[in-house]
Amino acid sequence: MRKLALAISLLAIAGLTVVAAAALADRGHGGNGGNRFSAKLVGFEETPSESTPGHGTFRASVSGNTIHYVLHYSGFEAAEGATLFSHIHFGQPGVAGGVAAFLCGGGDKPACTDGSGTIEGDIDAADIVGPNGQGIAPGEMDEVLTAMRKGYTYANVHTTLNPAGLIRGQIRRGHGHDHGGPGHH
C-alpha cells in the first residue's frame, strides 16, 4: 500500500511539473498562444547601425488574420530629416529584408509625423505588399504571420536622410521585452 501511495505521489509531482513548465513556457505571451508581439526600435539595430538618440516601440496583437499595432517613436534630431514611413520587414536580425506592410506613410496607413509620433492601426491581407522577391506575394497574410511567430520580421522607421532606416527592432513574441540588443536600456 505504501508503494502505491508513493507511486501516486510521484505521478502527481510529475504532472504538476509538466503543468508548471507549460505555464513558464508561455510566460510573456499573455496566455494567448503567442499572439502578442513587441519590438524595441533603436539605431544600433539598423543595418548598418545608426548612432541616434531616436528610439521607439512596436506592439502588436493578432486576432484571426488581422494585426492590430501601436507604433511609437521619438527623439529624432532635426538633422536626421523628416520622417518618411515605417514598415514591417521580412528579415532575420542583422539582415535588411523586404517590406511586408506599411505602419505609416504608405498604403492606406496614416502619414508619419516628424520627429516623434504614435500610430495605431490594423493590418489585414490587403495591406501585405510582399516582399515578392523573398517568397511572400502581396496579400499572403499567413506567410507574414508565420514569419512574425518565428522571429523573422522587424519594424523600422525611415527618414529623408536615413532612407534605409533610422531605427529598427526585431519583432518578438510577448510584450514588454527589451529587444534592443546588447547594452541597450
Whether residue 26 has pLDDT greater than 50: no
The three-class DSSP label of residue 127 is helix
Tell me the C-alpha distance between 47 and 173, whole Å. Answer: 22
Which pLDDT tens digit goes with each residue over 105-147?
999 999 999 999 999 999 999 999 999 999 999 999 999 999 9
Q: Which pLDDT band holds residue 2 (cuts at 50, 70, 90)?
A: low
Find the radius of gyration of the CA atoms of the chain: 20
Of 2.40.30, 2.60.40, 1.10.287, 3.10.590, the CATH number of 32-173 is 2.60.40
Q: Phi-psi category of 105—alpha, beta or left, where left has phi over 0 and alpha has psi -120 to 50?
A: left
- Among the listed residues 50, 55, 145, 136, the one whose alpha carbon sits nearest the alpha carbon of residue 97: 136
Which pLDDT tens digit goes with each residue over 160-172?
999 999 999 999 9
Question: What residue has cell string 519590438?
Answer: 39
Tell me the C-alpha distance between 130 and 100, whole Å. Answer: 5
Which pLDDT tens digit goes with each residue over 64-103?
999 999 999 999 999 999 999 999 999 999 999 999 999 9
Quick check: pTM over 0.75?
Answer: yes
Q: What is the mean pLDDT of residues 22-48?
A: 72
Whether residue 7 has pLDDT greater than 80: no
